[in-house]
Every structure is written in C-alpha cells, then in structure tokens.
Amino acid sequence: MPPKPGAIPPPSKSPKPYFFYGPRRPSQHRPTLSGGGLLSSHKVISPESHDPPPTHHTPFSLHDWDPDSPPNLGFPLSRQNPPSPPAQLIRSLSPISRFILDSFRKSEYRWGECVIADLQKLRRVTPNHVAEVLKSLPSAKVAPKFFNWAGKQKGYRHTYSAYNALAYCLCKGGFFRAADRLPELMESHGREPSEKQFEILIRMHIDAGRGLRLYYVYEKMRNRFGCKPRVFLYNRVMDGLVRCGHVDLALRVYKDFREDGLAEDAVTFMTLIKGLCKDGRIEEVLEILGKMRRNLCKPDVFAYTSMIKVLVKGGYLDGSLRVWEEMKKDGVDADVMAYSTLVIGLCKGNRVQEAYTLFEEMKEKGALIDRTIYGALVEGFVADRKVGMACDLLKDLVESGFRADLGIYNSLIEGLCSVHQVDKAVRLMEVIVQEELRPDFRTVNPILVSYAEMNRMDDFGKVLTRMKELQFPVLDDLSKFFESLAGRDEGLQVALKVFEYLKVEGYSSVSIYNILIGASRRVGEIKRALSLFDEMKNCNVEPDSSTYSLAIECFVEVGDIHGGAEGYNKIMELDSLPSVDAYRSLAKGLCKIGEIDGAMLLIRDCLASIPSGPTEFKYSLAIAHACKSGDTTKVMGVLNEMMSEGCLLDEIAYASIIYGTCKRGTIEDARKVFSCLVENDLLKESDMILYDDLLIEHMKKKTADLMVSGLKFFGLEARLKAKGCNLLSA
C-alpha cells in the first residue's frame, strides 16, 4: 500500500551490527545508548529533526545534452565580450567540443568554477578536442588555462596539433609574445619542437607584418633549438623580412642559408633581388643576377618585369633602365606588360623622351599598344609643353582603332590652353560631347582660366552657358574655379575682375565671397577683404560662420576689436563655431587692448568647443594656474615647456601671467616672472614696461570690482549713488 501523506518514511535497512560497520544508525523507534549503567543517556531522534532523504542526482550524460537547443546555441553577452563563433563552425565540431564551447559562452569566456565543473562532467577530453576548441575560441585569454587544465588529465599528453592550435589562438588574439614562447613550453613537456611549429609562428608573423618578431623566431629556431630550416622555409623567412622592409636582415638570413650548404632556387634569388630593388641597391641586384645566371638559369621576362615594376614604384628610373639593358643582354624579349610598366614609369618621372623611344620600339615590333600607354605619353608631353607631339599621339591612337578616354582629352585641353590655343581647346571640348563623353570640371577649368587671363569675358560667358546646357553644377564649379585662380601668383586681380562680371550676370554665392575674402587677407589687402564683407550685406547674400571667421581676423588686423567681437556674437547667433584662427586672432586682440578677462573667457570657450584647440591656449590655462602658487620657478618651467613644444611667447602667454597673478597673487609675483624673461632674453625691456602698465591697470580693475561687490553685499550702493560717487561707474 502506498504510504499516507505526511507519514514518516520507514528507516532504511542497515547492516547487521558488526565491527566493520560500527553501531547501527539511530532512528525514532531505536534510541542510541551512549555511556553505561544507570547514567546512560538516551538520545531519541524526533520526527521534526530527522535527516531528509538524500537527493539522488542523475549522472551527467553527454547524450542528454542537446547542442541544437536555443539556450545552447547562443547566450546574451555583454558588449565587452568577444562574439560567439559562427553557428556553421560550431555544428562542424564534435559534440564534446561543442559542449566545451557552450560552457565558455555561458561563463562569458572567463575561466572559473562553472567552466571547471562542466569540464569535470566529461569522462575525458582528448587532444583532438583540445585542438578543436582552441581553434574555435573567439577569446585567447582563456586558451592557456584550458590548455593547462587539459594537460593535467591522468594519462593525457598534448599532441602537436594541440600545440599548433594554441599558437593559432594566441596569435589571433594578439598575444604573439606568448605564442613565441610555445617552443619552450613544448620542450618542458618533453616534446621537441619541429620545423612545422616554427613555420606556423613565422607564417603568422609574416601575415601580421611583424618583421622583427619573425627574425626573433628564426634565430630561436636555428640557434636555440638547432633546427635548420629547409629551402622552402628559408625562402618564406627572407620574403617576410623583405615585405616588412628589413632587407639587411634578409641578407643575413641568406648568409646562414649559404653556411648550411643549401642550394638556391629561383624563389631565393628573386626574393633577394626584389628586396634590393625596393632599396634601390642596383649594384647588389646585378651581382645576384650574375650569381643566378651562373648557378641556376637566366631570369625570364616575368622576373625582369617584376624587377622593373619594383624599381619604378620606388622612383629608381636609372636602375630600371639598367635592368632593361640586362634583359636585352640575356636575349629576353620584352612583352607588352614590361614595356607598359617602364613607359608609364618614365612618363611619371618627367622622362617622356626616353619613354617615347620605347614606344617606337613597340611599334617596330608590332606589339599591341593599349590606351594606357597613349594616355601616359600624352600627359608626359603636355607636362613637357610639347602639345604638338601629344596631338599627334591622339591621331595615332584614333588610327589604331582605339577611342580616347576623358583623361586623354582633358590633358590635351590643358596643354592647348597652356600654349594659348584656347579656341582649339573649345573645339576639342565639343568633340568630347560628340563622342558621348561627359565633360567634368577638369575639362572646362583650363578654358575658363585662359579666357579670364585674356580678359575675354564674352567667351567666358558662352562657356558658362554651354556648361548650363550640359547640366554642370555651375555655382559649385565657379567656386572651384575661383579657388584655383586665386591661389596663383597675381591671380587675385584676375579673379576680382571676373567676379565683377559675374555679379552683373547673377553668379554670386557665399562660397565665392569667402574665397575672395580669404585670398585678399592672405596677400595683405585687408581693406579690400572688409569691403567685400560689407558688399555681401548690401547684395543680400547672408554671410555664414566661415565669412564671419575671416572677418574677425581682418577686423583684428586693422585694430577694430569691437568689430571682431560683433562677428563672434553673430557666429554664436547662428549656433555655429568660429575657426581656430579666428579664436586665436580675437584672443590676441583682446589681450592687446587690456581685456584680459574677456580673452581668458574666449580661450576657455574655444577649448570647451574644440577639443583639438590651439596648444598655446592649453598652455595659457596652465600658466595662469602656475601663477596662483606665487612660485616663479614653477611658472618659468611651464613657459619653457611651452617653448619646447614649438609655441612662441606672445600676447596670450603674457596676459595669462597677468591674469593668474592678479587673481591669486601680487603685482610683485608678475614682475618677478617678467624680470626672469628679460634676463633670459625672452622679453625686451620696452615690452616689459608696456606689460607692467597693463598689469597695474588690470589690478586696478580687479580691486574696483572687489570694492563694488563689497558695497553691494553691505547694501551701501544706494547711499553712494545719492552722494554722487562715481565709484560704481569706474
């Protein structure tokens, strides 16, 4: 019969009393007697205090764990934790490896008791499981701890695949120094590292571009462990060092290569030759080429092309021509790729005549000349002001059955305009339209500049009309035009004449005004810049923050600090920020007229709004803070540090000294600092007198402000006003 609810379960059957089992277990009906005789104590277990029956935990079975269930496929991780491996990668692993990775995800890839408890549920973790887990771990921090735990299993020994997986995991996580110590770990475990383990480390350092670490591993392999690489691995080491720019180390490895008695192959020679070509060491290149001819074979056209490509890319054109001569001596016929590489390189290096000689060679051989070679030659002749040769090349290109691209046409238009044949350039632009190519700003800009310099405004307007028909962004292109024209010598006068014509035609914008104002200020024509600024207001063109920033600099240069301050207020009304130059200029102007508090307020506003503000602004606050201590040595230390950073001692630095000493110091403290500057030839005595007067005036202002504040605090302001005291007005 089933027991009644609430009934006490019967005691479990205990073994017979025997010396092996000891005394029987106590129960409610069988008390335990301790002691003897009449003084024996009876201990009875009450029903309320009996021990609960032990819960029987079912042993863990991997078959009961469902790896495809949603809780085991992904867990919410914090943003700092690495992402989980892809689901496809997880499903390709063995169930035990998936279980271990799942445990790591639960613990957010941290080694702890939860992970150890899950690992202890498994009967055994084999080296294959260790390798699978290490290759799939997204975090390398727990990899060494898991590797160490696996090695402590009874009868377990790491295999080479497990060591390789650990190296892969550490390098992937950026712990390359720990990965480089893996051979020592293998040696301590009784495993002699083979060439394969070093090759893995070498390959990973090459992929990450760590040339010095690569050489460190190579030296450890050869000298520490006595493992001599094969020719293949030697080639990889030298290639990796050449890629990372360590050609001298690659030559040192080649010396070890020869000492080991190994024979070079084509890869060995070409690796060294490319490295020497990168550094432009032509004599050594020719020396190794001769060794390659004697010991192996002559280089083919592909090897020579790669050498020429490396030399041209580095700008060693004389060396590329010498290699070209060596190719001819070996009887190697150059292909189109070799010709194209050298011709384009010579054209970019302003040696177009030599490039044209190679071009004629190609035509004599009947080689297929592509449009890239024509384009490079056209650009080279235009840069050399040989526009006739460039036009002949265009005819040759068309007769060869090619169609010129927009780049070739743009180069020819620029060349025609440079030799004052702008009408031909206009006709060539119409040819571009007929060829159904879309002209761009580079096409029309030389024409516009030529018409502007020749003062042919009617033709200039016709080009603008044609640009409208071709749907050009005319105002944007005009801004680029003025920017290019105003940057030339004496180009500002031409730009202003063109702008007078454009204003009548209705072409004006804020960006054009900004360009002209900025150019006028750069050449020192401040009055013209300010007149353009006033003209904007009359033409109903609203200035923007850039306009006001340029105006602030102009106002300060003419001494109108109030006009600069108004410009700053206008920028604040536009909810924008002045430029850094405007901040600096206005702060200097305020310091010159004695408005030191306003200048320091402006400096703080600049640093709060622009984190990468001027360095002298940052040091000005440091100077003011150092002046509060009254220690002249400390202030001079800040000033010396400021000068070591490339900042000059100007009005802002001197105003910072006055501001700091007047706020929490005395006049004598500031005079000591100025005296030290005079002694160190950092300040003239005449300037010291001016700054001393400025110091006294600023101290008077501070004293008057304190007195007014005290009167307001005690309520004496009204009484002073009744007596006609003008202290408050001061």
Selection from 719, 727, 674 nearest residue 696 by Cα? 674
State yes or no: pLDDT of 658 exceeds 80.
yes
Averaged pLDDT for residues 444-459: 92
Burial 157-166 (b: 16+ CB within 10 A, else e): ebeeebbbbb
Mean pLDDT estimate for the chain: 83
**720 pLDDT tier (thresholds 50, 70, 90):** low
Q: CA 676 to CA 199: how far, in whole Å?
A: 64
Averaged pLDDT for residues 199-214: 91
Averaged pLDDT for residues 588-607: 89
pLDDT tens digits along 136-161: 888 888 889 999 998 888 888 999 99
Residues making up the chain, counted from first to last:
730
Q: CA 148 to CA 502: how far, in whole Å?
A: 79
Q: How many other C-beta atoms can be found within 10 angstroms of the C-beta atom of residue 156?
A: 14
State yes or no: pLDDT of 250 exceeds 60.
yes
Q: Residues 143, 169: contact at Cβ < 8 Å?
A: yes
pLDDT tens digits along 65-93: 544 444 444 434 444 455 555 555 566 78
Look at residue 318 in the predicted model and tell me its pLDDT: 92
State yes or no: pLDDT of 422 exceeds 90.
yes
Look at residue 666 in the predicted model and tell me its pLDDT: 75
Structure tokens at 619: 């040091």
Q: CA 351 to CA 356: how far, in whole Å?
A: 9
Residue recorded with tokens 């790896």: 67
Distance in angstroms between the alpha carbons of the first and the last residue of the chain? 110
Look at residue 379 in the predicted model and tell me its pLDDT: 93
Q: Residues 656, 663: contact at Cβ < 8 Å?
A: no
pLDDT tens digits along 375-388: 999 999 999 889 99
State yes or no: pLDDT of 33 exceeds 60.
no
**463 pLDDT tier (thresholds 50, 70, 90):** very high
List Cβ neighbours of 114 (8 Å cut-off, separation of 6 or more): 103, 106, 107
Burial 432-465 (b: 16+ CB within 10 A, else e): beeeeeebebebbbbbbbbbbbeeebebbeebbe
**37 pLDDT tier (thresholds 50, 70, 90):** very low
Q: How many CA atoms lie within 13 A of 658 on its CB side?
A: 28
State yes or no: pLDDT of 725 exceeds 50.
no
Q: CA 472 to CA 463: how far, in whole Å?
A: 11
Look at residue 479 in the predicted model and tell me its pLDDT: 92
pLDDT tens digits along 520-574: 999 889 999 999 999 887 777 889 999 999 999 999 999 899 999 999 999 999 9
**358 pLDDT tier (thresholds 50, 70, 90):** very high
Range name among 10-24, 204-218, 604-618, 669-683 with the lowest pLDDT average: 10-24
Look at residue 413 in the predicted model and tell me its pLDDT: 94
State yes or no: pLDDT of 321 exceeds 90.
yes
State yes or no: pLDDT of 309 exceeds 90.
yes
Query: What is 403-464 written as a DSSP string?
Result: ---HHHHHHHHHHHHHTT-HHHHHHHHHHHHHTT----HHHHHHHHHHHHHTT-HHHHHHHH
Averaged pLDDT for residues 450-470: 91
**709 pLDDT tier (thresholds 50, 70, 90):** low
Most confident range (mean pLDDT) of 5-9, 18-22, 170-174 is 170-174
Look at residue 689 in the predicted model and tell me its pLDDT: 84
Could you give the C-alpha distances from 337 to 182, 322, 365, 377, in angstroms and in order?
Answer: 46, 18, 14, 16
pLDDT tens digits along 234-249: 999 999 999 998 999 9
Look at residue 79 in the predicted model and tell me its pLDDT: 40
State yes or no: pLDDT of 452 exceeds 60.
yes
Look at residue 39 in the predicted model and tell me its pLDDT: 33
Backbone angles phi, psi at 669, to 5 degrees: -65, -45
Percent of the chain with pLDDT over 90: 39
**191 pLDDT tier (thresholds 50, 70, 90):** confident
User: 33: helix, coil or strand?
Assistant: strand
Q: Residues 317, 351: contact at Cβ < 8 Å?
A: yes
Structure tokens at 290: 């001769």
State yes or no: pLDDT of 415 exceeds 80.
yes
**651 pLDDT tier (thresholds 50, 70, 90):** confident
Q: CA 223 to CA 218: how far, in whole Å?
A: 8
Look at residue 155 in the predicted model and tell me its pLDDT: 86
The pTM of this model reads: 0.70
Look at residue 516 in the predicted model and tell me its pLDDT: 93
**64 pLDDT tier (thresholds 50, 70, 90):** low
